[in-house]
Structure 1
Amino acid sequence: MLVSDVAIPVVSVQPVVLAAPDRGVDLRVRVSAPVGGSGLPIVVFSHGFGSSSLCYGPLVDFWAAHGFVVIQPTHLDSRTVGLPPDASRRPQLWRTRVGDMRLVLDRLDLLEAAVPGLAGRLDRSRIAAAGHSFGGQTAGILLGLRVLDPVTGNAEDLADSRIKAGVLLATAGRGGDDLTPFAAENLPWLKGPDFAHMTAPALVVAGDHDESPLSVRGPEWLADPYHLSPGPKSLLTLFEAEHSLGGIAGYEARETTDENPERVALIQRVTLAYLRHALGIDDADWAEAKNGTPMGRIESK
């Protein structure tokens, strides 16, 4: 029996508010955890541009129901925050997101205490970062991806050794001439990513019908985080999937253009299997997942 065949009830608490004086507004966080079990590994999940910690239930609920504590910060670009379009903080949104993820890790004691019955049940040696779209870049930075800061012109190492593995879903690829004029003008943090230092293990998930308005290269651009980074990495390419990958952003999310419950179920199982493999919990489900599926293919290096 696969681990993914056995689910247990989940409790979610939100918002847990973390004081962040230098951020302009305190950080709101959602924590989801299984009601039972101990030695629970952790996933810190970064949402896509404009989304929030209330989204991505299909993944968050599934991971939590199968033994993970999932922590979701709401970044400043979320529509729920209402950051003005001309806010001076916008060019640094990419950096603030990374700071949000670090703050979550720094305040694990507080987050643990906010969930009834969770105290003493976390395994802090097994932490992964995951994210969709802009959130995939955020997670990637914690794994070693370097971004050319549009303000300073530097590409700093912002990797966090507490993060042992990652899952990057529909994540931006190479910058420069690969960007559309819109992306180059409005999303300056995409101009010069350097994947060469992203050495931590990661699963990259990309749809072969994801025609991003940010790149002139088409769907293959979303596979760059796999091809341009060193191993160990794996790539799940989903056939006919668009940017929402079948509906991972929410059970009834309006931005889903390719609704496909079977595809979402596949992503649930494969990502869970990968997280358990990459964090040293169990390899059986990942070995089975790599045997392939008619809905996609997995390759590794």
Structure 2
Amino acid sequence: MTKSKFTIFFLFLFFIILKESYSFEYSGIDGDYQVKIIDNKTIKVEERPEPLSVRVSAPQKTSPSPLIIFSHGSRCHVDGSNDLTNFWSSHGYTVIQPLHLDGYLESRKKSHSREEISFHRLRDMSLVLDKIKLLLSNEKEILNIIDSSKIIAAGHSYGALVAQVMGGAKIFSQGDSRKKISSLDKRFRTIIAISPPGYMKNFVDSDSAKSISIPMLVTTGTNDIIPPFMPTWNIHTVSFHDAPKGEKFLAVINGADHWFGGLLCRETDNQEQNKEMETLKAITLAFLDYTLDNNKMAMQFLNQLNKQKKGKGIYDFQMK
């Protein structure tokens, strides 16, 4: 083999290896870390109608771990998104999931008002950060690895809106619909919004997302339809289009419904959408790695999606 042919062969082999590595890293496959789970860690909090209960998933590692606070959807189980949150933890992210006042709780004896739910959903996100030492007082190995400089607001459905508000979005008060409120918590560095709601009278309008200045990923699916409130899937994309430019991403997953066939929120009558969930996992992980660590492989993955627009489970992908 001549020197020139050897060089060409070597470059070809290097490209194949690089491509395979890049494909594996962002294919929705669980990471190498073992995951520790803590269910129903509960503390009493002043001026909250119920004690604050959380689920924690954390990688068993000693190096710093970014922290994701995940807000569930309306009437969802606190552990209804475990498939996704455990995946994040297997890749090095610690996840804390608070149970909101509208979350499923069999022992709950009274329902709460819309105003109470909205107020405490937002408060819960900051409360977890405020009380994290108490919540993890018996879990020092988890507390000690959390990187407080890399905190992510994430959520699904109503929880996606909560994550956006923590990152700067402004919504109408549920106590006074004439008043817009901000619950911006500058400790959050980035946002993952899975199927956020569109415009809602006296709640969310076209100006709500314009004040989001931190990186944000918005996702939805071509079957993400909830009549009569969300009659078309593209309603879930408006916050991406309304938000200002600057590390904003939109991923529309081909075939995905609002609950990924029961893999998000709670069980449904539909078949579990494992392939669609793998696509969501891959995109969210790449987004996190890129926006928090400027990971070059993650950047290449996202740029390639933006270039292709469609394919590999994606109906549409945009960035601005």
Q: Tell me if TM exceeds 0.5.
A: yes
Give the Cα separation in 1 of the matches to 2:161 and 2:244.
16
Residue 257 of structure 2 aligns to a residue whose secondary structure is: coil
Alpha-carbon distance, 1:21 to partner: 2.0
Does structure 1 residue 238 correspond to structure 2 residue 253? Answer: yes
Does structure 1 residue 175 correspond to structure 2 residue 200? Answer: yes
| Aligned 1:60-99 pairs, distance under 5 A | 60-80=85-105, 82=108, 84-85=110-111, 87=112, 89-99=113-123
Residue 16 of structure 1 aligns to a residue whose secondary structure is: strand
| Aligned 1:53-64 pairs, distance under 5 A | 53-64=78-89
Does structure 1 residue 299 correspond to structure 2 residue 314? Answer: no
- Of 192, 197, 213 in structure 2, the residue corresponding to residue 199 of structure 1 is 213
- Of 115, 136, 157 in structure 2, the residue corresponding to residue 133 of structure 1 is 157
Does structure 1 residue 121 correspond to structure 2 residue 140? Answer: no
Q: Taking structure 2 as the reference length, what is the TM-score of the superposition? A: 0.82
* Cα root mean square deviation, aligned: 2.2
Task: Give 1:279's aligned amino acid.
Answer: L
Aligned pairs, number? 286
Does structure 1 residue 15 correspond to structure 2 residue 47? Answer: no
Deviates more, 1:226-235 or 1:164-173: 226-235
Any gaps of 5 or more consecutive residues in structure 1? 177-187
Does structure 1 residue 165 correspond to structure 2 residue 178? Answer: no
Deviation track 1:2-42 (CA, whole Å, cap 9, x = no partner) reads: 54564211001122223222111111011110111311100
Q: Taking structure 1 as the reference length, what is the TM-score of the superposition? A: 0.87
Give the Cα separation in 2 of the matches to 1:84 and 1:90.
13
Does structure 1 residue 109 correspond to structure 2 residue 133? Answer: yes
- Of 168, 175, 180 in structure 2, the residue corresponding to residue 144 of structure 1 is 168
Give the Cα separation in 2 of the matches to 1:74 and 1:45.
10
Residue 15 of structure 1 aligns to a residue whose secondary structure is: strand
Give the Cα separation in 2 of the matches to 1:263 and 1:67.
22
The residue aligned with 1:255 is: 268
Give the Cα separation in 2 of the matches to 1:115 and 1:33.
10
Give the Cα separation in 2 of the matches to 1:256 and 1:20.
37
Alpha-carbon contact 2:114-2:174 (below 8 Å) kept: no
Alpha-carbon distance, 1:290 to partner: 3.8
Residue 70 of structure 2 aligns to a residue whose secondary structure is: strand
Alpha-carbon contact 1:91-1:150 (below 8 Å) kept: yes
Identity, % of aligned positions = 25
Alpha-carbon distance, 1:213 to partner: 2.4
The residue aligned with 1:185 is: none
Task: Give 1:236's aligned amino acid.
Answer: A
Deviation track 1:178-201 (CA, whole Å, cap 9, x = no partner) reads: xxxxxxxxxx64578711112221
